């Protein structure tokens, strides 16, 4: 029961992380490429493509002895690969701005550089979580519905909290750093739970 609850929590946080990062991406790109529809079109295109690839990868990876520990490693990798966006977003965006003159394609290239890898890895979380939670073939649809509900609810909260409150209180780097810190804490907590449950099973 503890592991199942934690997997749902992790799916919710992953959904929060994705949508919050998408909003922060729009704010980060706006000084260089504007905040018009082409910028948001580039960001949304990149996020949808990354998530779709992540769904495929997560489903494929879940076939090979899925564990909570490996799911937590996915979250850690997504946080680690988002670090350049927190630490080096300014030089990356300046380089893209100087290299690509068209703001439409510049925004797309910048989105790829900053977000493709972390969002792809984040996309793998939901299908991997579903595989962990399914205990019988007949409940796969019900479990998938719950995971997508929890993940989308997390995305809703990420959108609301980030756009209504966080961007008014903190700068982008601080928000992103806080999100990466939370991802790391959640992943490490999951690894500890996984190790504890494995140890108890061994003792039993």
Q: Is residue 202 part of a domain?
A: no
CB 175 within 8 A of CB 35: no
- Would residue 204 count as lying in a domain? no
In a domain? residue 8: yes
Give tens-digit pLDDT for 7-51. 999 999 999 999 999 999 999 999 999 989 999 999 999 999 999
Is 203 contained in some domain? no
Question: Has residue 64 got a pLDDT over 70?
Answer: yes
Total domains in the chain come to 1
Residue 105 is assigned to a structural domain of this protein:
yes
Average model confidence (pLDDT) across the chain: 92
CA distance 165 to 173: 15
pTM: 0.93
Whichever domain contains 91, its CATH number is 1.20.1250
């Amino acid at each position: 029961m503890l592991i199942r609850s934690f997997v749902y929590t992790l799916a919710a946080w992953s959904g929060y992380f994705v949508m919050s990062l998408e909003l922060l991406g729009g704010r980060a790109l706006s000084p260089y490429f504007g905040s018009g529809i082409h910028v948001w079109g580039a960001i949304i295109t990149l996020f949808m493509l990354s998530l779709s690839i992540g769904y495929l990868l997560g489903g494929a990876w879940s076939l090979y002895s899925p564990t909570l520990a490996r799911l937590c490693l996915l979250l850690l990798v997504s946080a680690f690969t988002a670090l350049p966006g927190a630490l080096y977003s300014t030089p990356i965006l300046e380089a893209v701005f100087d290299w690509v003159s068209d703001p439409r394609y510049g925004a797309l290239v910048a989105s790829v550089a900053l977000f493709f890898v972390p969002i792809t890895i984040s996309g793998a979380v939901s299908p991997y979580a579903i595989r962990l939670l399914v205990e019988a073939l007949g409940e796969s649809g019900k479990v998938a519905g719950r995971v997508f509900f929890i993940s989308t609810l997390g995305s809703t909260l990420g959108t609301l909290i980030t756009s209504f409150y966080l961007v008014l209180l903190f700068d982008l780097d601080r928000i992103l750093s806080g999100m990466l810190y939370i991802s790391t804490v959640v992943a490490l907590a999951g690894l500890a739970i996984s190790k504890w449950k494995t140890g108890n099973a061994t003792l039993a």
